[in-house]
Structure 1
């Protein structure tokens, strides 16, 4: 199993929307590095949902439910289906992530505008420690 993080502007599509819809196609990603991350996703992988736009926090979890495929609206992009898996009991802010000093090499910290990225096991363990009731 692999782990990823996907950013979304909560006014565009929030964790509340994903919870209501239960499942969505994650699309609209155009940065080549972020598209590459989507193309690496496989069914069963875990995706941390991150609210940008002033919230700047990891807020929930989704599960990849499909193989990645070309985006029919943009041949240079890719989409994948995600299913709501839960909320973090305590959202984890970007400030907390940075203050930990453990993730200076994480794309979330280094490349603030990158919308989708792989995250390492040490990040997953750190999030779990802050949210022991979350199903990660």
Structure 2
């Protein structure tokens, strides 16, 4: 059952992110080299980190087993990378509103987001465990 939750969350995170960029990507992605590219990129990644922190919080409340955050991070990354390899391969269908520069910007965001997907749940798990009361 513990892998079912990580699978559901992995597909859900991928689907929400993909839908976000399908419908809003042309408004939030700017080509690398544009004057405000780095500001926009860092804002997107900061928002991604915050959303991953809260998603991890929800996940470890549902999956109370040891190493739940690791299972969420690794399982979600595996599922997401596989599905994103398909969505990028068929980018004309998934991201038809993005021009070439925006598509590159999306892929750069994606690479960094997967690094965050592995890192943030581990940090969140450690921080949240410090706050839990110790029972004897």
- Give your verdict on TM over 0.5: no
TM-score (structure 2 length as normaliser): 0.27
Which of these two proteins has the greater Rg computed from alpha carbons? 2
More strand by share: 1
TM-score (structure 1 length as normaliser): 0.27
Highest relative contact order (Cα 8 Å, sep 6+), 1 or 2?
Answer: 2
More helix by share: 2
